[in-house]
Chains A and B, each alone.
Chain A
Amino acid sequence: MDWQPLWLTFKLAIITSLILFVIALPLAYWLAFAKFKGRGFVEAIIGMPLVLPPSVLGFYLLLAFSPTYWFGAWIENMFGLRLVFSFPGLVIGSVIYSLPFMVYPLRAGLQSLPASLREASFTLGKGRWETFYKILLPNCKSAILSAFVLTFAHTVGEFGVVLMIGGNIPGVTKVASIAIYNEVEALNYSGANQYALVLFAITFVILLVVYSVNNRLLRV
């Protein structure tokens, strides 16, 4: 069995989750506490990947990444990077595709904290940033964990977007879900089964560990 698609899948999921965490934290804080006009618009944009068929998202990303259009051409000129059918392109696509899975649990976690925690910190002379990372974040560990698990799982399960913008290049963009599809197409059911079984087992173990940790967090 070729382990490369599995390795690629988890590499993609980990990188995507980490990047998204950094992007989603300020976004979640902003959505949770800021008062601004056009909130509905921002929320709709962030929520789009939840409802949009992956092939639609993938199609537009394919156009955007393609060097024959201005964005792809600009990226290629600026950074010498071709995003289409490449791993970096896959990462960007996954980040966009999984954005709501990171933002929503984080925002819910922040909003579920009593407002008085934040206010108490303010009246103790602490600014927004210090309040955020010393008081709010440590008290929504459970939400952070959920956000990571959901994002990770969603990226592992990605298929449509990857197929559109990544194609099927072994070692570069051929992730496990694509590999399974390929094996089935080739009528090699036992090959597909191997990938599927490993994915199944690893995903289950990850969830098992995460929720055990989560239960311990909640008990404190």
Chain B
Amino acid sequence: MEIDLEAQQGSIVAVTGPSGAGKTTLLRQIAGLVSPDSGHIKFGNTVWLDTSAKILQSPQLRAIGFVFQDYALFPHLTVRENLLYALEKGKNPAIVDELLTAVELTQLTDRKPAQLSGGQQQRVALARALVRRPDLLLLDEPLAALDHTMRRRLQEYLLKLQQQLGFTMILVTHDLGEIFRMAHQVVVLENGKVVKYGSPSEVYLPENEINDQLTVYGEVLTCIINNDHLLVSALIQQSIRTIKLPLHWISEMSPGRSFALRYSMDTPQIELIN
């Protein structure tokens, strides 16, 4: 891996790229859970890692919060105990209740993690990671296992907490929507190298390349003749859509076939893929 990056304090950075690109490794190196052969990590004015000067701060000493992909809640402790465990000795436990309120878990404080839904567990993990008031919150695909609605809600929680507490955030994600909604900067990794870096618009929306047509790929599920047109139900990007099409396309629209629909300014066209 060869990575050279800098992030603004208080900003949200998304790390993305194909699996095996080194996203999680990057996150774990920042946390200090693994150390690279050579490298340098500086947070604010604190050096966390400098292999040439033999400096290596343990994860315990880095001011981080880490939200694991599997949440890593302690199964034998209740929700509240999970958060209390993170509390440093002599610190005011009021923060635990504040955070439980912020993620709307006050009703569930005495439950064990196994008795919670995925979204609830995720909120506990998030709240627990914030108990120590970290300056940097690291999230490893935190929302990957959640459904669309839950994901949106948790994104809102995250944004709200980030604005309240002002921590810097680095999150690994595959979700383009998430990147645009949340991140100030996005890093695209491939084979352990940064291939693109910039704001989501800079990275994903190339300038001067406005399309006058849109292509949609789909798979035909059913095709019904309805008066003077066809009603074709198709699987388009994991949802089922029914579209009206001219009658003469009936031979192309048999169930199971894949197609590409091109809507252009003038006329819609259809092309069969196989």
Binding site for B on A (CB under 8 A): 114, 116-117, 119-127, 134-135, 138-139, 220
Tell me whether A139 and B75 are in contact (CB under 8 A). yes
Checking B60, B65, B85 against A134 with a beta-carbon cut-off of 8 angstroms, the contacting residue is B85
Interface positions, chain B 42-78, Cβ under 8 Å from A, are 58-60, 64-66, 68-70, 72, 74-76
Closest residue of chain B to A141 (Cβ to Cβ) is: B76
Tell me whether A122 and B74 are in contact (CB under 8 A). no
Tell me whether A124 and B68 are in contact (CB under 8 A). no
Separation in Å of the B60 CB from the closest CB of chain A? 5
Closest residue of chain A to B89 (Cβ to Cβ) is: A125
Tell me whether A125 and B132 are in contact (CB under 8 A). yes
Tell me whether A122 and B76 are in contact (CB under 8 A). no
Separation in Å of the A127 CB from the closest CB of chain B? 6
Separation in Å of the B136 CB from the closest CB of chain A? 11
Closest residue of chain B to A127 (Cβ to Cβ) is: B60
Closest residue of chain B to A135 (Cβ to Cβ) is: B74
Q: Give the chain A neighbours of B59 by CB distance below 8 A.
A: 119, 122-123
Task: Please report the C-alpha to C-alpha distance between residue A119 and residue B59 in the assembled complex, in whole angstroms.
Answer: 9
Interface centre among A120, A127, A134, A138 (most CB of B within 10 A): A120
Task: Please report the C-alpha to C-alpha distance between residue A192 and residue B115 in the assembled complex, in whole angstroms.
Answer: 53
Q: Is B88 an interface residue (CB 8 A)?
A: yes
Separation in Å of the A177 CB from the closest CB of chain B? 38
Tell me whether B72 and A119 are in contact (CB under 8 A). yes
Interface centre among B33, B59, B68, B72 (most CB of A within 10 A): B72
Checking B70, B75, B112, B131 against A124 with a beta-carbon cut-off of 8 angstroms, the contacting residue is B131
Question: 5 interchain pairs (CB within 8 A)?
Answer: A119-B59, A123-B64, A124-B132, A125-B88, A125-B132
Q: Is B86 an interface residue (CB 8 A)?
A: yes
Q: A135-B74, A139-B75, A139-B76 are in contact. Are A120 and B88 (CB under 8 A)?
A: no
Q: Give the chain A neighbours of B88 by CB distance below 8 A.
A: 125
Closest residue of chain B to A220 (Cβ to Cβ) is: B112
Q: Is B154 an interface residue (CB 8 A)?
A: no
Task: Please report the C-alpha to C-alpha distance between residue A116 and residue B33 in the assembled complex, in whole angstroms.
Answer: 10
Closest residue of chain A to B131 (Cβ to Cβ) is: A124
Q: Give the chain A neighbours of B76 by CB distance below 8 A.
A: 138-139
Tell me whether B74 and A123 are in contact (CB under 8 A). no
Tell me whether B70 and A123 are in contact (CB under 8 A). no
Task: Please report the C-alpha to C-alpha distance between residue A116 and residue B129 in the assembled complex, in whole angstroms.
Answer: 13
Q: A124-B128, A124-B131, A138-B76 are in contact. Are A119 and B85 (CB under 8 A)?
A: no
Task: Please report the C-alpha to C-alpha distance between residue A116 and residue B31 in the assembled complex, in whole angstroms.
Answer: 13
Task: Please report the C-alpha to C-alpha distance between residue A146 and residue B128 in the assembled complex, in whole angstroms.
Answer: 32
Q: Give the chain B neighbours of A220 by CB distance below 8 A.
A: 112, 114
Tell me whether B33 and A124 are in contact (CB under 8 A). no
